Amino acid sequence: MTNKRNLAVEQYLVVSILGPNSIGILNIVSAHIKKNHCWIVRAHVTVLGTAFGMLLQINGKWNHIAKLEASLDPLAKKNEFAIHTLRCNPSAYNEKLIAYSVDIITTQRPEIIPTLSEFFMRQKINISDMHCESFAARLTGTEMLSLTMKIHIPIDISLAELREEFINLCDELNLDAVMEPERGG
């Protein structure tokens, strides 16, 4: 027998937080979530320059989520950060999609991300996660871009054709790129 949670009473809340970077913001927010009998099921936390950004997916019973949601604006005002919330449903597995990872290293240019996102949008491929970071090449000082995307490819798309079109685009943009299936257990 499987352990089934009562999804009828569980709710999900997505919370984005932006503010000046200071030590302890994650502790303040996570303790507040725990105090309201909710828990973080997925998170992205980062420092961007002097700013702090957090994107959280929170789970809890509907009444706890409602209390948490009502208490977040005062918490944001007290700690001087901006906050936005959105109710959502949990992600459902979709057997008609294949998870792939795209890794790119190239010189930093403003057209890279818009061109890649347009390419995948035209193919009806969702980008479910993206991380990029600029850095200076160690020997030359050239401004570089490291970009990783997690994408979901519909099973009815020809992987050979998609890979060929992707490689052609990368050649055209002079990108060092790899697109491969996600491995996981």
Residue 94's pLDDT is: 77
Neighbours of 23 (CB within 10 A): 7
The DSSP output letter for 157 is S
Percent of the chain at pLDDT > 90 equals 88
Q: What's the pLDDT at 168?
A: 97
pLDDT at 6: 52
Fold of 10-88: Alpha-Beta Plaits (3.30.70)
Share of the chain above pLDDT 70, in %: 93
Task: Evaluate whether 10-88 and 97-181 have a shared fold.
Answer: yes
pLDDT at site 90: 78
* Average pLDDT over the chain, rounded to an integer: 92
pLDDT-derived band at 5 (thresholds 50, 70, 90) equals low
pLDDT in tens, 118-155: 999 999 999 999 999 999 999 999 999 999 999 999 99
**Token pair listed for 54:** 């957090």
pLDDT at 165 over 90: yes
Order the strands of the 126-136 sheet from edge to edge.
126-136, 143-154, 97-107, 176-181
- Indicate the pLDDT class of residue 185, thresholds 50, 70 and 90: very low
The fold of the 97-181 domain, in CATH, is Alpha-Beta Plaits (3.30.70)
Residue of higher predicted confidence among 6 and 167: 167
Task: Work out the average pLDDT over 71-93.
Answer: 91
Rounded-to-integer distance, Cα 65 and Cα 87, Å: 9
**91 pLDDT more than 60:** yes
Residue bearing the bigger pLDDT, 7 or 36: 36
94 DSSP 8-state letter: -
Q: What is the DSSP string of 15-64?
A: EEEEEE--TTHHHHHHHHHHHTT-EEEEEEEEEETTEEEEEEEEEEEHHH
Domain boundaries, the chain: 10-88, 97-181
Contact call for residues 55 and 116 (beta carbons, < 8 A): no
